[in-house]
Chains A and B, each alone.
Chain A
Amino acid sequence: MGTPLWTTEAAAKTRGEWKTEYVRPGEVPFPEENPYTTEKVNLGHKLFFDPRLSGSDYISCATCHNPSFSWGDGLPTGFGHKMTKLGRRTPTVLNSAWGELMMWDGRFESLEEQALGPMGAEAEMNQELGGIVEELRAIPGYRTLFNVTFPGEGISIANIAKAIATYERTIVSGIAPFDRWVAGDETSISTAAKRGFDIFNNKANCVSCHSSWNFTDSGFHDIGLPDDDIGRGGVVKNMVKMQHAFKTPTLRNVVQRAPYMHDGSLGTLKEVIDHYSEGFTKRESLSDEMKPLNLNDDEKADLLAFLLTLEGADPVVAAPVLPANDQVPGAWLQRLSPAAGGQAETAECRTARLHLRRCK
């Protein structure tokens, strides 16, 4: 027998060493294929809040991804077109710039793909994707915004997705007491929360999936919830471990996002801790990381105290003013504005046109 090439044994890290693994990143990552621009963020902000992106014109991205509920909806499972009850809880879009493979089951490769998924899904926003381009082209303000944001390209499905994805990447959790503690302020969290941090990383081993500053590995794991949803198993069909596996959600601002889990079946963080401690279903697909923890009440309370320190001071999100539907009969456009036909127009001309006056 030779010396093994690797070992699974690792020396226990100190609290200080663990803290270094949770330092916030200095900047938001944007992909080469869709780099950041201020114009894209502004346009994506409007599109994200615009219900005209749904077939019914009453559901926007923000209807379910509501900033008031930490970019979720506060419901066990979401509601879609004609109040269709959806099968899974609405995931937050918080910190999605750092994500990999979108949705609970990872069926979309990127945020750009994800942005179009719910929009086109019959049960969700029920928007015919080919039709949305024409609908937006009929709105003068959007013609202008797209022309400014994507010069020479204008309105297209791809550019709608790029703008929404860019806006979503700017949705980042604010500085939390935990971050101040990691940065060196020992007074920013309680002694109980510090003990909870130790439990999180050691005895409870939550860190095996809820890792790094965003508290997620972006991975897929069966955590033993007893429902019939096979999750990622519907996408990756050749691995038992992907049956009932769902994406690890971030824990940033987690206190704002009850109820919990992909099916919204656990109402409080205490119930979540109880589930991981001793309440999960054992089956072949169960993640290797899931082991009974048998935490006592003091340890559970410490863990909860720690989770509460992840609530950040997030910026207030303003609802944008959306471009108005066209008020002007098509035949009047040339008379009222030189900007007709999809060309950029000045704010003065736009205001004039909407009030049925000539633009100078």
Chain B
Amino acid sequence: MRLSMLATAFVFAFATNAIAAEVAVTQKGRKFSEKKIELSVGSSIKFINDDDVTHNIHSTTKGYAFDVGAQKPGQTIVHTFGKAGKVKIRCAIHPKMKIKVTVK
């Protein structure tokens, strides 16, 4: 019985890791390289500030709000999405930079 439960846990963990992914998004020219992203729960977006100015990554979507503060040129920030839903992400400095993320 214990062996069976461990096996189940292992399969579940393996399956979770198998579908989790990391998507890279660049910010050069005050533009996110993606406008819409679909992710599975547990996946991440790696925001790479390859621009020459400071940016920001935040969301005010209810239940998914986060804010990483200032992201200077050259900095990389990874944000993981822990539950399903639709999340709008913006740069607070350059609000035309925005992404719609669908987490399934």
> Interface of A with B (CB < 8 Å)?
5-6, 8, 100-101, 106, 109, 208, 211, 217-221, 232, 236, 238-242, 245, 288-289
Q: What residues of A have a CB within 8 angstroms of the CB of B54 in the complex? A: 241, 288
> Interface of B with A (CB < 8 Å)?
26, 28, 30, 48, 50-54, 56, 58, 60, 67, 69-70, 73, 92-96, 98
Q: Of B28, B48, B95, which one neighbours A219 at CB under 8 angstroms? A: B95
Complex CA gap A202/B31 in Å reads 20
Which 10 pairs, one residue from A and one from B, show the smallest C-beta to C-beta distance?
A6-B50, A100-B95, A8-B52, A219-B94, A101-B95, A236-B92, A238-B69, A239-B70, A100-B96, A218-B96
Q: What residues of B have a CB within 8 angstroms of the CB of A242 in the complex? A: 92-93
Assess whether A220 is in contact with B92, with CB atoms less than 8 Å apart.
Answer: yes
Assess whether B96 is in contact with A239, with CB atoms less than 8 Å apart.
Answer: no
Closest to B56 in A: A239
Most chain A beta-carbon contacts within 10 A, residue among B30, B51, B52: B52
Q: Of B28, B30, B56, B69, which one neighbours A6 at CB under 8 angstroms? A: B28
Assess whether B95 is in contact with A241, with CB atoms less than 8 Å apart.
Answer: no
Complex CA gap A220/B13 in Å reads 43
Q: What residues of A have a CB within 8 angstroms of the CB of B51 in the complex? A: 8
Q: What residues of B have a CB within 8 angstroms of the CB of A220 in the complex? A: 92-93, 95
Q: What residues of B have a CB within 8 angstroms of the CB of A238 in the complex? A: 67, 69
State how many angstroms separate the Cβ of A342 from the closest Cβ of chain B.
34
Q: What residues of A have a CB within 8 angstroms of the CB of B50 in the complex? A: 5-6
Complex CA gap A106/B91 in Å reads 12
Question: Told that A8-B52, A217-B30, A218-B94 touch, could you supply 20 new A-B pairs with CB distance under 8 A?
Answer: A5-B48, A5-B50, A8-B73, A100-B98, A101-B95, A106-B92, A217-B94, A219-B30, A219-B93, A219-B94, A220-B93, A232-B92, A239-B56, A239-B92, A239-B93, A241-B54, A241-B70, A242-B92, A242-B93, A245-B93
